[in-house]
Amino acid sequence: MQQKIFKRTIEAHYHLRDLVTATPTVRDVYISEVYQASVFLKREDLQVVRSYKLRGAFNKMRLLPHPKEKMVYCASAGNHAQGVAYSCAVLNVKGKIFMPVTTPNQKIKRVKYFGKNWVEVVLVGDTYDDASKIAHAECEAAKGVFIHPFDDPDVIAGQGTVGLEILNSLSSVSIDYIFVPVGGGGLLSGIVTVFKQLSPNTKIIGVEPAGAASLRASMDKGEVVELPSVDGFIDGAAVKRVGELPFQIVRDQLYDLVAIPEGKVCTTLLTLYNEAAIVVEPAGALCVAALRFFADEIRGKNVVCIISGGNNDIVRMEEIKERSLLYEGLKHYFIVQLPQRPGALRFFISEIMGPDDDISYFQYSKKNSRERGPVVIGIEVKQKSDYQVLVDKMTQHNIAFTYLNNTPDLFTHLIG
């Protein structure tokens, strides 16, 4: 099967060349300096739909017999939906696209924009997997055609053209490592198919979100398993169950598979924006985030990271910053019981907090007209070690407090 998919990938590369943008693979000076390596970014965020998903969607749809005679269906957290919508408009095919209700509004608008009058968008379920089950059922009842985002050989072949472009762009470079984001496994299996054939010495590393490490769970079990739940924050890769075909292709072909905490991804996303002027979505930052965990190994090597998508809604930036600060140990939330005396808050600010600490959240209630209840306070520190100084001072002055960062249920109730 893998040899057949490789052949289909070569064919797809030829047929997609007039529709799909041949995105650049460029050496990033800043990231290369940080890791003392030659780090190249495959910029699929510059694709016409701002992600690689158009490749697989259009390759699948162009091969359908008599596509205009049937409705096509798909389920997606956003990027595959845009690829299908764009393909529907180009091919004049009617489509029905099912997306989780948690999908960022920016992605929903883009799907409608690309699909014009050719697609209908249905918001249903909390996750991609919820939407997929409903979409499959409706497609089967209507005898339509389902365009799967990753578990299909023609979709995998389309995604594999990313690998062909990388090798064409870096034909004079021996690629030591390639980092590939993993959701359902379509892109990863496409990259594996191409690189094992054309660059077999390249070490392929799959990168999953820690809150949706479905491939790792399947690898550990030796068969595809479904996670009971996922953290949907990295929506472009938050999949409960990887594809059967991708799993069979990649299971024995990876050099490594790593799960990256969502907070680290947020830090990387902000770094890419601030230092490299690259706007990515959380899934698009996965591979660059993974470099930190391989820093010693990749030093002096040629490394490729796939920037899989740039569909980030600006309204998410506050949440992204918050997650980054929490992960880096620079923001801390407490329930504090201040002494019942005048000037207690002033004392806390001047004597307990450090000169560089900043109050970013403050809420309190009065038990009655004379007595103040506990204060919920968020403090942003300049460096990680400042947290312990803050805690030591509260303890020294007998200020009762509860630390909220490590109590997620209470944190969500009071802050989220």
Do 32 and 58 have their domain in common?
no
User: Among all chains, which residue has been given the structure tokens 């802050």?
Assistant: 415
Do 254 and 340 have their domain in common?
no
For residues 190-212, one letter each, b for 16 or more C-beta atoms within 10 angstroms of the residue's C-beta and e for the rest, the string is bbbbbbbbebeebbbbbbbbbbb
Mean pLDDT value of segment 184-193: 98
Mean pLDDT value of segment 390-397: 95
pLDDT band of residue 416 (cuts 50, 70, 90) is: low
Do 66 and 193 have their domain in common?
no
Identify the three-state secondary structure at position 145. strand
For residues 340-374, one letter each, b for 16 or more C-beta atoms within 10 angstroms of the residue's C-beta and e for the rest, the string is eeeebbeebeeebbeeebeeeeeeeeeeeeeebeb
Do 300 and 178 have their domain in common?
yes
Here the CATH number for the domain that contains residue 374 is: 3.30.70.260
pLDDT band of residue 63 (cuts 50, 70, 90) is: very high
User: What does the alpha-carbon distance between residue 162 and residue 51 come to, in Å, rounded to a whole number?
Assistant: 11
User: What does the alpha-carbon distance between residue 194 and residue 161 come to, in Å, rounded to a whole number?
Assistant: 8
Per-residue pLDDT at 231 exceeds 80: yes
Q: Which of 322, 349, 375 is the last residue of a domain?
A: 322
> Considering only CA atoms, which of 121, 171, 106, 112 is closest in space to residue 309?
106
Is-catalytic flag, 53? yes
pLDDT band of residue 351 (cuts 50, 70, 90) is: very high
pLDDT score, position 365: 67
- Eight-state DSSP code of residue 36: T
Active-site choice (76, 189, 308, 324): 308
pLDDT score, position 370: 57
> Considering only CA atoms, which of 155, 156, 76 is closest in space to residue 123?
76
DSSP string, 50-61: SBTHHHHHHHHH
Q: Which of 322, 355, 390 is the last residue of a domain?
A: 322
Do 33 and 180 have their domain in common?
yes
pLDDT tens-digit profile of 4-38?
Answer: 999 999 999 999 998 999 999 999 999 999 999 99
* Residue 164, token pair as written in the block: 């062909």
pLDDT tens-digit profile of 92-139?
Answer: 999 999 999 988 888 899 999 999 999 999 999 988 889 999 999 999
Active-site choice (42, 53, 240, 331): 53
> Considering only CA atoms, which of 238, 283, 277, 311 is closest in space to residue 45?
311
Do 373 and 398 have their domain in common?
yes
Do 164 and 42 have their domain in common?
yes
DSSP string, 72-129: EEEE-SSHHHHHHHHHHHHHT--EEEEE-TTS-HHHHHHHHHHHGGGEEEEE-SSSHH
Rg (CA), the chain: 24
> Considering only CA atoms, which of 153, 202, 178 is closest in space to residue 12?
153
Do 164 and 269 have their domain in common?
yes
User: What does the alpha-carbon distance between residue 187 and residue 78 come to, in Å, rounded to a whole number?
Assistant: 15
Is-catalytic flag, 384? no
Here the CATH number for the domain that contains residue 87 is: 3.40.50.1100
Do 139 and 72 have their domain in common?
yes
* pTM (predicted TM-score): 0.92
In this structure, the number of other CB atoms found within 10 A of the CB of residue 383 comes to 12
Lowest mean pLDDT among 75-84, 243-252, 403-412: 403-412
User: What does the alpha-carbon distance between residue 151 and residue 398 come to, in Å, rounded to a whole number?
Assistant: 59
Do 296 and 334 have their domain in common?
no
Do 70 and 160 have their domain in common?
no
Identify the three-state secondary structure at position 402. strand
Q: Please name the residue ranges forming H helices in 199-237.
A: 214-221
pLDDT band of residue 339 (cuts 50, 70, 90) is: confident
Do 47 and 63 have their domain in common?
no
Q: Which of 98, 123, 146 is the last residue of a domain?
A: 146
pLDDT band of residue 411 (cuts 50, 70, 90) is: confident
> Considering only CA atoms, which of 62, 36, 58 is closest in space to residue 49?
58
Per-residue pLDDT at 368 exceeds 60: no
Number of domains in the chain: 3
- Eight-state DSSP code of residue 386: H
pLDDT score, position 367: 58
pLDDT score, position 67: 66
DSSP string, 237-249: T--SS--HHHHHH
Q: Which strand (E) or helix (H) includes residue 259?
A: strand 256-260
212 touches 155 (CB < 8 A): no
Range of 40's domain? Answer: 2-52+153-322
